């Protein structure tokens, strides 16, 4: 099984199986639906943003292990962070999954997705939740990775 460990890390498999923050927030302040038409992955995010800070976030959706785990880990990681900080994190995350060398000091446990960069076809799976998050912060209701 060793050959799959670099992509399907234990943490990713765990979050795929038991996604955290799965559900909706009735009185959300921000919301966006993300869709990857290529593979049919879908994610919907509900957020409560107060004073430019994410107070709460939940997600629903269907997708592959990478996309589900990315949504789950993201929701855990960004609570309490400023929106400006989140934009910067997305840049770092994007570099993590696409570039050979990247600055990942702020990504913490999100760096488990590093293995994705060897699978260019799966980059969109890992970044769908992020694109959707930025759309929700910007007040866009829908986003597509195509």
φ, ψ of residue 59 to 5 degrees: the values are -135, 150
Instruction: Between 93 and 115, name the residue whose CB sits nearer to other proteins.
Output: 115
Position among 23, 24, 40, 142 found at the interface with other proteins (CB under 8 A): 40
Residue placing its CB nearer to other proteins in the complex, 40 or 108: 40
CB of 1 to other proteins, least distance (A): 6
DSSP-assigned states of every residue in 124-137? HHHHHHHHHHHHHH
Whole-angstrom Cα distance, residue 50 to residue 99? 33
Nearer to other proteins, 122 or 131 (CB): 122
Query: Residue 34, interface with other proteins (CB under 8 A)?
Result: no
Considering only residues 100 to 129 of the shown chain, the ones binding other proteins according to CB under 8 A are: 119, 121-122, 125
């Amino acid at each position: 099984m060793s050959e799959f460990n670099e992509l399907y890390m234990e943490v990713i498999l765990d979050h795929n199986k038991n996604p955290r923050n799965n559900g909706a927030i009735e009185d959300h302040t921000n919301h966006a639906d993300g869709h990857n038409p290529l593979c049919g992955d879908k994610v919907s995010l509900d957020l409560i943003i107060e004073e430019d800070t994410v107070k709460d976030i939940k997600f629903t959706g269907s997708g592959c292990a990478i996309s589900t785990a990315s949504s789950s880990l993201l929701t855990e990681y960004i609570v309490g962070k400023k929106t400006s900080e989140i934009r910067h994190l997305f840049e770092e995350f994007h570099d993590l999954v696409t570039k050979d060398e990247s600055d990942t000091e702020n990504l913490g446990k999100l760096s488990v997705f590093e293995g994705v960069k060897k699978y260019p076809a799966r980059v969109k799976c890992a970044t769908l939740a992020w694109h959707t998050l930025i759309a929700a912060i910007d007040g866009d209701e829908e986003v597509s990775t195509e």
